[in-house]
């Protein structure tokens, strides 16, 4: 059995955790007594009367964790730990060791005649008691005095626990389990108990930082990187080596012409690597016909270090004489396009990793498909998209959010929609004809 021994939360000053034997046990004087009665009939009652809370591992209601996991959690959170060494117990000895390791405020009690380990005797003043009416009354007085004295003392800093890392940076391949706006949560494929969060600031130096992490990362995808321990927390990072942005800001000057090589062509666009290692994306309207391995001349337009983004354009287009340039293509009139706020059914035409393109029922003849991004989907549809279950022909109910001239495709209109709840209307005959 493996225990996940990590500090998990704030210390609860009013919590007193009892590490003690359970059920009936034989005392050093030969009598058999029930330690559950001692806890429930005395310790719990005393703590409540002193406006404190008692906790014991087997008395935490509703938990499905093992007794040792619950014991660790209780010791971790407790303001004070009381350890009863009246009878030999492996679990109690383990709980004492945990409390000592964390530098908890400790009170050690034991029935008279008990054999207390010498290391405990050397560390603590044991509060001895006898199991009798008078003996338990004396224990109540002594325990109250010890607790009051510890709570009045200045608290010494407790120990934190750090996972052992064989290297400062542990290389790993991880699976993405959660995607949020500012970070993703990942789990080590080879060591499933190791998990951490990766924030935007830990993305690769060569990757542009997105507005929302779902634009770059998807649940279920595997990515390489490193586990590192930083500020008392385990985090995941894809940054390797020194930060190159100081050199890039000196090297990549606005208006400078460089050679670039296409290293990837995907649904997100055409991606190139510049001389010196920087990466960028070719503008969509200039990317037609480019393929992996092509070399081309590009012009640096601007750098945004905060977003780790280098904006470029093809050198041939930037060199065009303005007087001879073709007149910009005006966008089509919006009369035949939907208006923001319209609600209607839609059919998935192009599914992708983080979005789908849909054809609107009421506008089946439009040359433009509407964009439904994962951030604008319901949780169930987004889960299906990430699992690859959204296919062409699926029907969704949408609300039109934005209609206007395209910023990346001159002369075109962009339509953005979001999924909404409600009864999906039947598909129109015109939409059926276009789909067929």
Per-residue model confidence as pLDDT tens digits over 102-160? 999 999 999 999 999 887 777 888 999 999 999 999 999 999 999 999 998 877 778 87
| Residue whose C-alpha is closest to residue 9's, from 141, 151, 158, 138 | 158
| Residue whose C-alpha is closest to residue 177's, from 167, 187, 169 | 187
Q: What CATH number has the domain spanning 343-435?
A: 2.40.50.140
CATH class assigned to 12-152: alpha beta
Provide the pLDDT for residue 269.
79
Q: How far apart are CA 177 and CA 30, in angstroms?
A: 56
Question: CATH 2.40.50.140 region(s) of the chain?
Answer: 169-237, 249-318, 343-435
Q: Which residues contact 200 (CB under 8 A, 6 or more apart)?
A: 182, 183, 209, 210, 213
CATH class assigned to 169-237: mainly beta
CATH class assigned to 249-318: mainly beta
Provide the pLDDT for residue 321.
34
Identify the residue whose tokens are 């619950």. Answer: 70
Provide the pLDDT for residue 198.
95
Q: Are 110 and 46 in contact (CB under 8 A)?
A: no
Per-residue model confidence as pLDDT tens digits over 327-365? 555 666 788 899 999 999 999 988 877 788 999 999 888
Residues of the chain with pLDDT under 50: 62-64, 318-326
Q: In a 3-state reduction of DSSP, which class is residue 265? A: strand
Provide the pLDDT for residue 39.
95
Provide the pLDDT for residue 364.
86
Provide the pLDDT for residue 325.
43
Question: CATH 3.40.50.450 region(s) of the chain?
Answer: 12-152
pTM for the whole structure: 0.43
Provide the pLDDT for residue 322.
39
Task: State the angle between helix axes of 90-101 and 67-77 in degrees (0 to 180), rounded to the nearest 10.
Answer: 30
């Amino acid at each position: 059995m493996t225990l996940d021994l990590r500090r998990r939360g704030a210390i609860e000053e009013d919590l007193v955790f009892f590490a003690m034997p359970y059920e009936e046990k034989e005392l050093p004087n030969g009598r058999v007594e029930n330690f559950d009665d001692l806890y429930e009939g005395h310790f719990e009652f005393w703590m409540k009367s002193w406006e404190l809370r008692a906790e014991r591992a087997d008395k935490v209601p509703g938990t499905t964790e093992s007794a040792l996991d619950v014991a660790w959690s209780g010791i971790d959170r407790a303001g004070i730990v009381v350890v009863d060494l009246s009878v030999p117990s492996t679990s109690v000895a383990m709980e004492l060791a945990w409390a000592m390791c964390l530098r908890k405020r400790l009170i050690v009690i034991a029935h008279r005649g008990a054999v207390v380990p010498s290391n405990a005797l050397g560390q603590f003043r044991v509060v001895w008691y006898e199991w009798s009416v008078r003996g338990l009354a004396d224990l109540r007085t002594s325990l109250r005095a010890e607790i009051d004295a510890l709570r009045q003392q200045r608290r010494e800093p407790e120990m934190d626990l750090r996972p052992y890392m064989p290297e400062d940076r542990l290389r790993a391949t991880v699976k993405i389990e959660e995607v949020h706006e500012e970070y993703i949560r990942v789990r080590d494929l080879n060591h499933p108990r190791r998990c951490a969060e990766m924030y935007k600031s830990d993305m690769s130096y060569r990757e542009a930082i997105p507005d929302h992490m779902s634009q770059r990362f998807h649940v279920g995808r595997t990515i390489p990187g490193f586990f590192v321990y930083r500020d008392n927390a385990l985090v995941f990072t894809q940054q390797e080596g020194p930060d190159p942005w100081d050199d890039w800001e000196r090297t990549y000057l606005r208006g400078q012409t460089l050679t670039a090589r296409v290293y990837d062509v995907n649904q997100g666009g055409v991606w190139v690597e510049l001389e010196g290692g920087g990466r960028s994306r070719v503008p969509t309207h200039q990317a037609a016909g480019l393929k992996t391995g092509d070399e081309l001349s590009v012009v640096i337009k601007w750098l945004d270090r905060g977003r780790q983004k280098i904006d470029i354009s093809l050198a041939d287009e930037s060199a065009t004489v303005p007087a001879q340039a073709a007149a910009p293509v005006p966008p089509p009139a919006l009369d035949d396009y939907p208006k923001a706020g319209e609600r209607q059914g839609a059919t998935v035409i192009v599914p992708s990793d983080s979005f789908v393109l849909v054809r609107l029922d009421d506008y089946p003849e439009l040359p433009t498909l509407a964009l439904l991004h994962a951030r604008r989907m319901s949780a169930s549809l987004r889960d299906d998209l990430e699992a690859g279950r959204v296919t062409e022909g699926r029907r969704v109910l949408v609300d039109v959010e934005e209609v206007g001239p395209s910023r990346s495709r001159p002369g075109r209109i962009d339509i953005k929609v979001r999924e909404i709840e409600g009864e999906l209307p039947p598909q129109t005959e015109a939409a059926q004809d276009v789909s067929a």
